[in-house]
Amino acid sequence: MDLGLRESRVLVTGGGSNIGRGIVHGFAREGSRIVISDIDGPQAQRVRAEALELGAAEAEVHIGDLTQPGVADAAVQQACNRWGGLDVAVNNAGWSVPGFIAEDTDRAKWQRTVEVNLYTAIATTQAAIAPMRAAGSGSIVFIASDAAFGQIRQGIYGATKAALIALARTTAREHGRHGIRSNVICPGLVIPEGPEAVGEASLWAVGDDAVFNDNQIEFLRKDIPLQRLTTALDIANAVVWISSETAARQVTGQVFSVSGGYTMP
């Protein structure tokens, strides 16, 4: 099925590492034009080269900290200046350090988690609405998490991801009349496919064991009905589908867990 995404104008925040990189690859295979927004310049440039090799019509890099005022606006404006508008915005920028709720008492870490996971999505969504509203169409995709439904060692992180669901559904209700669709993808645990999949600033850069060790991963796997972990490609395929006006034109305000059935919202 032709998803109608060739030459589409796409912004992916946090597009340099792991899930974001996979999403960029997914749109590249569709022949889209992509702005890769990330705080990690060298990694974003690496992913840009990969995207062009995979078939992206064009790929641009926007480097900046989306938690800072004006940076999200600049990322959206880069797509608009280059290609005359924006068809898809993927709110993927995220950050997490696992911790039990009774022990996770570092307020500065809470603040950073909220800023990266929620503030960036608010700012990017607000910036994307104007060109999409002017065009009478657009798709905004929020990358939340199964942690949004309550998971061990993910209390603060999960709370920010639950907030994304409310933000996405409010956006769907307020801007459906403008032709803008807004949906949520909740990944299960996605382990980077290799060192090339993450940059130095990624939470995974410290090594897989520092985030989830083998025992924790196996414990998780046993609770997955399909008995396998989610990959970045799995998330990319879901995002590309939900972004397509051809395939998903009547889908908005919905939450999809891509986790092998670990959660079923």
The fraction of the chain above a pLDDT of 90, given in percent, is 83
Average of per-residue pLDDT values in the chain: 93
Residue 265 pLDDT greater than 70, yes or no: yes
Phi, psi of 65 (to 5 degrees): -90, 105
Domains and CATH numbers, the chain: 9-258 (3.40.50.720)
Query: If DSSP codes are grouped into helix, strand and coil, which group holds residue 35?
Result: strand
Q: Which residues are catalytic, by number?
A: 157
Q: Within a 10 A sphere around the Cβ of 156, how many other Cβ atoms?
A: 22
Residue 103 pLDDT greater than 90, yes or no: yes
**Mean pLDDT lowest among 5-19, 92-106, 190-204:** 190-204
pLDDT at 212: 61
Distances from the Cα of 192 to the Cα of 32, 45, 63, 179, angstroms: 23, 18, 22, 35
Q: What is the pTM of this model?
A: 0.94
> Per-residue pLDDT tens for 167-204?
999 999 999 999 999 999 999 989 888 777 777 766 55
Give burial (CB, 10 Å; 0-12/13-18/19+) of 193: middle
Q: Which two tokens stand for residue 177?
A: 């009349």
Residue 51 pLDDT greater than 60, yes or no: yes
